[in-house]
Amino acid sequence: MSTVDLIVLILYLGVMIFIGFRAMKTVKNEEDFILGGRNVGTIFVLLSIFASWTGLSGLFGTPEYVYTYGIAGGWWWFTFPLGVFIMGITMAKILRRRMHMTLADIVDHRSTSKSVRVAASVVTVWNYLAWTAGQVAGIILIIQTFTDLNPVITVIITYLVMITFTMLGGFRAVVHTDAFQAILFILIIGVAIPVIILFRYDIGSIFNTTSQIDGFYKMFSSVPKEAMISWWLLAPAGFIDTMAFQRIFAAKDEKIAKQSIIRAFGMMIVFGIILVFIGVAARVILPSGTNPASAMLVIAQTVLPKGLLGLLIAALVGVAMSTASTTLLVCSATIEQDIYSVIRPNGKTSKLNMHRLLVIVVGLLALIAALKVPSVTTILVYGYSVYVPGLLLPVIAGTFEWKIPDKYMLATIVSGTLSAVALIIAGEPIPASVGGLIVSAIPFVLGIYGSKNSN
């Protein structure tokens, strides 16, 4: 890594801090900190959704799985935004109209149960703490691949920058940095890398070579069934994605909330196709025996000219920071709003100060988790495997105002979560998300049936 490249990375981190300080001037109360005053316009909502969805697990995992399995590996990317898209066209306007602040507000919309709210919040925090930690693990991989810097020290510095601008400016700082980061990685990863591949290599030869690989261009069958089931379970995770909910709550109005989800979905489809193309090209361009998990990083390092390395690292770090800052804010807001304030409604610390303190605390917990479990995709899977069984059915019920007694709603969350955890510990004889969701459906259905009978 040249001195120029290092300077570019340092300047990039400096811009992040500057944005945080600028945004801090607009933060006057809790709603400003969590949702930017519910006054975020179309462009910022759109780019923020896109940047937050494009985490390192998708950015690294898609070329990895395409390199390994063929184009069917692209389902790792496409399933999650598909779930968010369905949520956007069915639920976005309803949720924006209600002026919610967190996911627990959806689940607890017609309830006064503290237990339901706290249980939903604990599951939410677990999932997005895992997402945050996963991005930190990805930054470590970037530093190890492209620099001779100490990866632990470098990721700590980088991550502290992310915590700082999030703590200072809250949601407004997050969406502004998201917009900057989205433009950066679209230009470097979405434009520069594929364009260079197109001009430097014989595309016909790439497709001819990969066509000789058995099953490379099959849409489903080349991927092991267990993996494909796991990937498709990302769709319901997207359907109840708190990052998307947060943007819906923060949008200026219902129209912007819905349209931003739809347009971001379109951007994700285009970007996903580009990542699939990179994975196909990597299978031919990279030397035999290349570690598939490093396909994205190695292909970028191979095709990009010197001088762009700093921008590439900044773009990759930007991807991680976009997702991590969002999930960090989700965790801190959920803990303050739906756990701390429920347990201690008369706490002396101001809500705004408590939010900022929790950003620091949760951020450090995610950093420790990432250093202990340094795998982007593993951490992510552990998160959504618990999140979906615990909250999919309660979110649907809360959105459409299905009348379910509190005890059954609580049983749905707890049974789905604990059964998923038990399956993970047991080595997943069946996918944890599937087993947990089946178990959670039992008290959920009983609750619906019991509610109808009581009427």
Residue 373: predicted pLDDT: 63
User: What range does the domain containing 163 cover?
Assistant: 3-454
More confident residue, 6 or 50: 50
CB-based contacts of 427, cutoff 8 Å, min separation 6: none
Confidence label for 65 from pLDDT (cuts 50, 70 and 90): very high
pLDDT (tens digit, 9 = 90+) per residue, 86-103?
999 999 999 999 888 888
Read off the pLDDT of each residue in 302-309 and give the average, rounded to a whole number. 77
Q: What is the mean pLDDT of the chain?
A: 86
CB-based contacts of 266, cutoff 8 Å, min separation 6: none
Confidence label for 196 from pLDDT (cuts 50, 70 and 90): very high
Q: Give yes or no for residue 437 having a pLDDT over 90.
A: yes
Read off the pLDDT of each residue in 194-221 and give the average, rounded to a whole number. 92
Residue 230: predicted pLDDT: 80
Read off the pLDDT of each residue in 318-344 and give the average, rounded to a whole number. 85
pTM of the model: 0.85
CATH number, domain of 29, equals 1.20.1730.10
pLDDT (tens digit, 9 = 90+) per residue, 148-187?
778 788 888 888 888 888 888 888 888 888 888 888 888 8
Q: In the numeric block, which tokens belong to residue 94?
A: 């309803």
Residue 110: predicted pLDDT: 66
Domain count, the chain: 1
Residue 307: predicted pLDDT: 66
Q: Are residues 214 and 57 in contact, defined by beta-carbon separation less than 8 angstroms?
A: no
Read off the pLDDT of each residue in 236-246 and give the average, rounded to a whole number. 89
Residue 14: predicted pLDDT: 84
Quote the percentage of the chain above a pLDDT of 70: 94
pLDDT (tens digit, 9 = 90+) per residue, 357-406?
998 988 888 888 777 765 555 666 777 788 999 999 999 999 988 888 88
Confidence label for 317 from pLDDT (cuts 50, 70 and 90): confident
